[in-house]
Amino acid sequence: MSAVQDGLRRRRRRDRGLRQTRTRRRTVNEREKALLDEVDTRLFIGGEWVDSSSGKTFQVRDPATNEVVAHVADATEEDGIAALDAAVAVQDEWANTPPRVRSDILRRAFELVRERADDVALLMTIEMGKPLAEAKGEVTYGNEFNRWFSEEAVRIAGRYGSNPEGTGRIIVSQRPVGPSFFITPWNFPFAMATRKIAPALAAGCTVVIKPPQLTPLTTLFFAKLLVEAGLPKGVVNVVTSASSSRVSAPIIADPRLRKLSFTGSTEVGRKLIAQAAEGVLRVSMELGGNAPFVVFEDADLDKAVDGAMLAKFRNIGQACTAANRFIVHESVAEEFAQRITERVTKMKIGRGTEEGVEIGPLIDSDAVDKAVELVADATERGATVVAGGERLDGPGTFYQPTVVTGVQPGSAILREEIFGPVLAIATFATEDDAVRLANDTEYGLVSYVYTEDLQRGHRMIERLETGMMGLNAGVVSNAAAPFGGVKQSGVGREGGFEGIHEYLSTKYTFLPNA
């Protein structure tokens, strides 16, 4: 074969490869379009899909491209109250629905989500930006709440026994709290919806949910699957809005509402708690975090580095459970930083649907600005950027995965929730120093500790002021475990045996002896 023929053959092979690539991209785009077309972007009230009473919509954008992917109904105050009306109207009927029926509906929802897992994951990646592999992980995790609470629905129990005086019987029973209102965040669009909806339905409570403006599509799609699972009309209602306060305030002020659950910032949580106080509502608040990641001198650094990558860069660092402050013993800090930097510099950045991408876009330009400001403040105070540290040119809102060492006391990056792919390392000398640094925050959601000393691990369980802890583990969330924090990280628990009790009220009855 001549050189010319060989060159022509290589060109034909290259051109065929390019055509295949274009076809593959076109197929992905067609799949995305078909999926987006399947999502009903109207309000879901009383079992019906309806337009906003104002006729207005708001845009949802893909943060990786800044392209508009959907126009979603923008609910008014009247729409919010209509949703509550629908929930109130069927509350008694749903509360008296046999637990096995409620259980079976949740189980069917679990099966339907599992069948459509790839679609739910892709929808999240489109509207939120997380890598597709992580989105699939969220579907698996979030769907476990459907399965877990389908099992808990038939295990709601009370107690019966004699009083100490022997004059009668004590009967303790559990009843549904009543109509519940949920406000969910943009960073885990599926899991945050199921973590609230599933226990409420299991307990016999009806629901109004306001998904986030930035990522409402996943919740709307889940509502569709709940209908397919056989959920009666009015039991779950979805109101989307560009203004959370406009829709939320009248619902919270309505005396028929009995429960409020919110996941988001502590600042907003405080305001909602104040509003809820007027009606003495039951509240569950999963608020901000400032998680310490403590590495002792005896830690297995291989485990610690693997855990750090998960705890920091999962969901592009946009998680309330993300490790925020890496507090590393001075004897291993340099080696830890080197190993982390090697891993971070190899991370692939891009749109979450692209193969091998580990870092997608931040949710919006404000999030990028926040990362830039925190890193700049740290370096001005003496820290060193050893990897990343730059925003990337658009389209999309990307920021490089970043490692900052030598972070000094007083740096904003140690006080404020980063919510981005920035790993900040400070050092300590003694165990008491580590505890003091870890607890030096108004937040108390989760902590991570790496040590091979079992006794020290037990001391950390007792001494660290957080509602959750990962001991030699970089991920703690599980549907079977109680998720929640202390201090200004919130009140109440989601998941576990404890989760369903957030939606139950305890009633005591005394029955005297005949």
**Tokens 């583990």 appear where?**
473
Average pLDDT over residues 408-428: 96
Calpha distance 212→209 (Å, rounded): 10
Average pLDDT over residues 336-358: 97
pLDDT of residue 356: 95
Q: Which residues are bridge partners to 473 per DSSP?
A: none
Average pLDDT over residues 392-403: 95
- What six digits make up the tokens of 318? 């946009």
With H, G, I as helix, E, B as strand and everything else as coil, classify residue 32: helix
With H, G, I as helix, E, B as strand and everything else as coil, classify residue 40: coil
Q: Kindly state the percentage of the chain with pLDDT values over 70.
A: 95
- Catalytic, out of 134, 138, 144, 286: 286
Q: Which residues are bridge partners to 323 per DSSP?
A: 291
Residue 11 in this model has a pLDDT that exceeds 50: no
pLDDT of residue 362: 97
pLDDT of residue 394: 81
- For residue 15, name the pLDDT band (cuts at 50, 70, 90): very low
- For residue 17, name the pLDDT band (cuts at 50, 70, 90): very low
Cα 63 to Cα 235, 311, 336, distances in angstroms = 32, 22, 32
Q: Which residues are bridge partners to 70 per DSSP?
A: 60
Q: Is 334 a catalytic site residue?
A: no
pLDDT of residue 29: 85
Residue 331 in this model has a pLDDT that exceeds 50: yes
Read off the pLDDT of residues 182-204 as tens digits, 9 standing for 90 and up. Answer: 999 999 999 999 999 999 999 99
Average pLDDT over residues 500-505: 98
pLDDT of residue 441: 97
Calpha distance 404→347 (Å, rounded): 16
**Tokens 């013993």 appear where?**
329
Cβ contact 412:257 at 8 Å: no
Cβ contact 219:189 at 8 Å: yes
Q: What is the per-residue DSSP string for 430-478?
A: SHHHHHHHHH-SSEESEEEEE-S-HHHHHHHHHHS--SEEEES-S----
Residue 359 in this model has a pLDDT that exceeds 50: yes
Q: Which residues are bridge partners to 426 per DSSP?
A: 327
Average pLDDT over residues 243-271: 97
Return all residues near 99 (Cβ < 8 A) that are at least 6 apart.
Answer: 153, 154, 156, 202, 204
pLDDT of residue 84: 98
Peptide bond into 482 cis (omega under 30): no
Residue 9 in this model has a pLDDT that exceeds 50: no
Global pTM exceeds 0.85:
yes
**Tokens 């790993």 appear where?**
423
Instruction: State the average pLDDT for the chain.
Output: 94
Residue 10 in this model has a pLDDT that exceeds 50: no
Q: Map out the domains of the chain as residue ranges.
A: 27-287+492-506, 291-482
Average pLDDT over residues 71-89: 98
Average pLDDT over residues 212-230: 98
At the topology level of CATH, where does 27-287+492-506 sit? Aldehyde Dehydrogenase; Chain A, domain 1 (3.40.605)
**Domain 291-482 bears CATH identifier 3.90.550.10:** no
DSSP letter at 394? S
Residue 21 in this model has a pLDDT that exceeds 90: no
pLDDT of residue 51: 98
pLDDT of residue 514: 87
Read off the pLDDT of residues 283-312 as tens digits, 9 standing for 90 and up. Answer: 999 999 999 999 999 999 999 999 999 999
